[in-house]
Amino acid sequence: MKKVILAFVLVFLLAGLIFATEAGKLTIWCSEKQVDILQKLGDEFEAQYGIPVVVQEMSFGDIQTNFLRAAPVGEGPDIMVTAHDRIGELVVNGLVIPLDFLTLSERNEFMGTAIDAFNFGGKLYGLPYAVEAIALFYNKEYMEEVPATFEELADLAEEYTDDEFRGFVYNTPDFYFSAPLLFSNGGYVFKLTDKGLDPNDVGLDNAGAVAGGEFIGNLLDRGICKPGDNYDVMDGLFKDGMAMAIINGPWAIEGYRNAGIDYGIAPIPSINGKECVPFTGVQGFLINSQSPNTLFAIDFLANFINTPEVMYRLFKADPRPPARLDVAEMVKDDADIISIFESAKNGIPMPNIPAMSAVWGAMGDALNQIVNKQLEPAEALEQAVDKIEAAINQQ
C-alpha cells in the first residue's frame, strides 16, 4: 500500500514540474478560447519588456482545482484566467495577491458588479475582463415585444402552451436559473454587510424567497412549466422553434444562430413590480502569491493587459460581454452582447465565499420538491436553509 501511495505522489510531483513556475518567465493558465490571443499578447509583451510568456491550455473547470493543488507547493502558473466564484477559497488559503495597483479611478472603468465579484475582505483580487448572466431569450416569430412584467409573460405563455408548443420554459429545478425569481422580492443567499457576505445569515427561506418559490409553483399549477423541464428540454424546444420564451445565457447564442431562430434577448421581467436579478459571473486574471515573478505579473496586468485596446482584442478573440465600460461602448452595436452585458450589470455577483459550496445541492433538492409537488415552497426552502446552515457549520 505504501508503494502505491509513493508512486501516486511521484506521478503528481512529476506532473507538477510541467507547470512549475520559473523565475524570469511568466506562465499563464487559461482555457481553450483564450490560448491563442494570450500567447500573441505574451509574445508582444516579451518583445517589449524582454520577459518570456508561456500560455498553457487547461480545461476551464480544472484550472482552479489544479491551482489549489499546485500553488501551495510552489508550482502552478504565475497568472491564471478563471472565474471569480472561488476567490474566497483562494484568498483564505493565501494563494493569490490583492491587486492594489488598480487605483479607484481605474476600477471605475469597469462594471461595478465585476469589481464587486473579485472583492473579498475589502480587497480586489482579480482583474476582470468578461462577464455573463442569464436573460430572457424570445422567439420574435411569436413575440415582438417582451411583456413588462413576468405576470404578463405568464398570461401570454399560458395562451400559447399546448401539448407540443411551450409559451415559456426554463430549467426550473436548477438554482442558478431559478435564483432571479427567488431574489425578486427580497430573497438572498448570504446577507451583504460592510464586511462582506455573512455566511451566518442565509436568506433563502425569507418571505421574499418564499414568494418567489410560490410564483414558480404557480407556473407549474398553470401548466406553463412542467415537472420534466430541464436544460436540454428548454434548449431543444427553442432550437426547434417550439418555445416562445426561455431563460438562458450567452453560451447558447451560437446554437440559436445556427438553428436559424430569429431571437431577441431582454432582461428577465419583473415580478410584483420588483426586478428579477440574476447571478453575474465574472472572468479575470489572478496572480499566484507563491510565484517568484509577482512583479513581472503585476507589470503584465497593470501596464499591458489593462488597456481598452488589449481588452478589446481579447473580446474579438473570444466574444464575451466585456467587463470594461469603454470596451462595452466599442461593441455597442452588437445587440446580443449588450443585452447580456446589461443583465450582468444589474445582477448579483455569484457569492465568492467558501460557504457557497453548501448551497447548490440543498437548493436543487428544494426546487425539485417544489416542482414535483412534494413540499410547499415555504417548507422546501426552510429545509434547504437548515441543510445549508448545517453544512456551513461543519466547514
Per-residue pLDDT reduced to its tens digit, 89-118? 999 999 999 999 999 999 999 999 999 999
Q: What is the pLDDT of residue 391?
A: 97
Task: Quickly state the pLDDT bin for 10 (edges 50, 70, 90).
Answer: very low
Range 338-366 average pLDDT:
97
Task: Quickly state the pLDDT bin for 14 (edges 50, 70, 90).
Answer: very low
DSSP of 334-347: -HHHHHHHHHHHTS
Q: What is the pLDDT of residue 23?
A: 80
Model confidence at 75: pLDDT above 50 = yes
Model confidence at 3: pLDDT above 60 = no
Task: Quickly state the pLDDT bin for 4 (edges 50, 70, 90).
Answer: very low
Q: What is the pLDDT of residue 20?
A: 57
- Amino acid occupying residue 359: V
Range 131-149 average pLDDT:
96
- 185, 384 in Cβ contact below 8 A? no
Per-residue pLDDT reduced to its tens digit, 181-212? 999 999 999 999 988 999 999 999 999 999 99
Domain locations in the chain?
18-132+280-349, 135-277+354-394
Predicted structure pTM score? 0.91
Model confidence at 18: pLDDT above 80 = no
Kindly state which CATH superfamily the domain 135-277+354-394 is placed in.
Answer: Periplasmic binding protein-like II (3.40.190.10)
Spatial separation of the C-alpha atoms in residues 74 and 389, rounded to whole Å? 34
**Percent of the chain predicted with pLDDT > 70:** 95
Q: Any idea which of 63-72, 133-142, 224-233 has the lowest mean pLDDT?
A: 63-72
- Residue 128 zone, left/alpha/beta (φ > 0; ψ -120 to 50; rest): beta
Range 285-311 average pLDDT:
97
Range 235-252 average pLDDT:
98
- Within 10 Å of residue 97's Cβ, how many Cβ atoms? 18
Range 57-74 average pLDDT:
92
Q: What is the pLDDT of residue 47?
A: 96
Model confidence at 289: pLDDT above 50 = yes
**Percent of the chain predicted with pLDDT > 90:** 91
- Residue 268 gets which letter from DSSP? P
Per-residue pLDDT reduced to its tens digit, 210-231? 999 999 999 999 999 999 999 9
Q: What is the pLDDT of residue 55?
A: 97
Spatial separation of the C-alpha atoms in residues 238 and 336, rounded to whole Å? 16
CATH fold of the domain at 18-132+280-349: D-Maltodextrin-Binding Protein; domain 2 (3.40.190)
Helix (H) or strand (E) holding 249, with range, is none
Collect all residues with Cβ–Cβ distance below 8 Å to 204 and sequence separation of at least 6.
Answer: 182, 187, 188, 189, 359, 363, 381, 384, 385, 388
Q: What is the pLDDT of residue 194?
A: 87
Helix axes 2-18, 60-70, angle to 10 degrees: 110
Q: What is the pLDDT of residue 9?
A: 34
Whether 18-132+280-349 and 135-277+354-394 share one fold: the answer is yes
Spatial separation of the C-alpha atoms in residues 54 and 348, rounded to whole Å? 34
- Residue 240 zone, left/alpha/beta (φ > 0; ψ -120 to 50; rest): alpha
- Within 10 Å of residue 15's Cβ, how many Cβ atoms? 13
On average, the pLDDT of the chain sits at: 93
- Looking from the CA of 136 toward its CB, the CA atoms found within 13 Å total 25
Model confidence at 16: pLDDT above 70 = no
Model confidence at 42: pLDDT above 50 = yes
Q: Any idea which of 40-44, 69-73, 313-317, 335-339 has the lowest mean pLDDT?
A: 69-73
Model confidence at 5: pLDDT above 80 = no
Helix (H) or strand (E) holding 119, with range, is strand 119-120
- 217, 370 in Cβ contact below 8 A? yes
